[in-house]
Amino acid sequence: MTTFAIGDTDFLLDGRPHRVIAGALHYFRIHPDHWADRIRKARLMGLNTIETYVAWNAHEPVRGEWDATGWNDLGRFLDLIAAEGMHAIVRPGPYICAEWHNGGLPVWLTSTPGIGLRRSEPQYVEAVSTYLRRVYEIVAPRQIDRGGNVVLVQIENEYGAYGSDHDYLRTLTELTRACDITVPLTTVDQPEPHMLAAGTLPDLHATGSFGSRATERLATLREHQPTGPLMCSEFWDGWFDWWGGVHHTTDAAASATELDALLAAGASVNIYMLHGGSNFGTTNGANDKGRYAPIITSYDYDAPLDESGHPTEKYHAFREVIARYAPVPDEVPSARPVAPALSVPLRGTGDWLPTSTEAGAERAGGSTPPTFEDLGQLGPLVRYDIPLPAEAFGDAGTAVLSFTEVRDLAWIAVDGAPIGRLQRALHERSLPIPRGSLLTVLVEDQGRVNYEIRLGEAKGVVGPVTLGGHELSGWSAQAVDLATVAAGIPDGSEQPTAGRIGLAGTFDLDEPTDLFLDTDAWSKGYAFVNGFFLGRYWRNGPQRTLYVPAPATRAGANEIVVVELEHVIEPVAAFVAEPDLGHREE
């Protein structure tokens, strides 16, 4: 039986000192057909371990409907890591942050009335216990002392930045042990004294998360973890991007120098990220520290392996550093090939938004419109309609429409005519509208906050709405099924391409291959290839291309569908030779 333990100064593999040199791969951000490739390239960089979060809301978006197949097959992912001769670290949360929507927590959980998140509250603890038991059913038989490869399991995630309920941490620890998890248990926090004190327990091994000043931060960590191996279990080698921002990068040489300092100090490390992947569909998270900032579709992270899984300058720089401290294979992965470039004419199929009279609308007689949660909407769009009272306008031709809050972006129309839009990111809540009969508000959830106190907040039109000071009541609301909309677009007849529109086209490939879809000719919306939901695009940038993984394509005819929310400049889909993730800070 192979053993893995924590010694006085080192991790111990079968009783001998062992350094963990790991990299983060999130299986839920990578096409399953690419898992083995990314794992292999991790080994070729010199890593001996793969770390992954577990995204609860990917496995159980609807309460009681647990899924551990396909994209969610954590067991297969761990087995592929083992097949490459590598160890695994599992971080099941339940909260993961990760710039992933709602920090990995299911909407059904966070919208439960009276629930207390990430603390010893009975409803929350009960749901978390059920979730963790399901995860540990997968993990327990794959531990290293059972002939598997899992060497560490993490309790919660950067908890010291959120709370200090040690009873909650103790409950998670006791449950984990009761589920037959016998490998060492860890916690992770930024190396700030108050976070390290709040985020762990004496019987858990504390690790740090940081990307710079390694020597100083390891010293702080050692003050709070006086024995055992030092470990940076999130070595931030890049950063994430948000709409309206810049594409963040870090200098490869500078990152390599910090990694060298970590390894020279004898520390273990987990590189976050080794390969970021993509927020396919609408799985991106958001931050809100005074200004709402939704995360883009790409999770490239300026990682050693780029979004399409190919080595970057940083990969080679890290590989060179690791070779000073551990064996590195001779084989080196090849560079990213040039992708096929082609232009595909798109036909417009008219406005795709269902009318307010179609089945599925829910009526709310009061003054507060239903939220996405009230409607059970897990997709990004809800349409709201309400008759406009003439008295709200008085003798004027216009009146001010004012919302308590819109989460997160709303398009306003009167009698079907577009009036304007309101953006949460710009703190916009009101605009004048002309006299009319029917108000329509299309609201997009741009990404659920994955950090701090806004975790689990409601989406949609939140709170009462007034027109000319008069409170509006009698709303109807309809959840828009984006998959159904996209599937129906190719069946439409040709229409002009002005305004909100569906677009479709076909293109041929000699064989399945990675593609990069240029979105510059469009405004804001969603793109699909052969029914595979690539994600969001927006001229707001910085991202200018969407990654199309080869397994989503096929030899012969392929289909592209675009669901445009505003307007297109040109009805064409251009596939380009390489990705464009936008401008950088100089």
Instruction: Count the neighbouring beta carbons within 10 Å of the beta carbon of residue 374.
Output: 17
The token pair that represents 463 in the structure block: 């709170």
H or E, element range at 152: strand 150-154
Distance CA 227, CA 204 (A): 12
Give me the residues paired with residue 568 across strands: 522
The single-letter code of the amino acid at 33 is D
Describe the chain by its helix, strand, coil percentages, rounded to 5: 25, 30, 45
Give the pairing type, strands 475-479 and 381-387.
antiparallel
Distance CA 165, CA 119 (A): 6
Q: Are 170 and 196 in contact (CB under 8 A)?
A: no
Give me the residues paired with residue 217 across strands: none
The token pair that represents 431 in the structure block: 């605009």
DSSP H helices in 66-165? 74-83, 107-110, 122-139
The token pair that represents 559 in the structure block: 């289909």
How open is the CA angle 254-259-262, to the nearest 5 degrees? 130
Nearest in space to 363 (alpha carbons), one of 377, 380, 379, 375: 375
Distance CA 35, CA 40 (A): 9
Residue 574 burial by Cβ neighbours in a 10 Å radius (0-12, 13-18, 19+): middle
Distance CA 539, CA 486 (A): 20
The token pair that represents 243 in the structure block: 């709409």
Q: Are 56 and 91 in contact (CB under 8 A)?
A: no
Q: Are 185 and 168 in contact (CB under 8 A)?
A: no
Distance CA 354, CA 209 (A): 46
Distance CA 14, CA 4 (A): 6
Instruction: Count the neighbouring beta carbons within 10 Å of the beta carbon of residue 16.
Output: 9
Give me the residues paired with residue 430 across strands: 402
From residue 499, alpha-carbon distances to 347, 384, 490 in Å are 14, 19, 18
Nearest in space to 490 (alpha carbons), one of 569, 544, 557, 547: 557
**3-state secondary structure at position 47:** coil
Complete edge-to-edge strand list for the sheet that includes strand 398-407: 430-434, 398-407, 460-467, 470-471
Residue 496 burial by Cβ neighbours in a 10 Å radius (0-12, 13-18, 19+): exposed
Catalytic residues: 158, 234
Nearest in space to 516 (alpha carbons), one of 535, 500, 488: 535
Instruction: Count the neighbouring beta carbons within 10 Å of the beta carbon of residue 145.
Output: 14
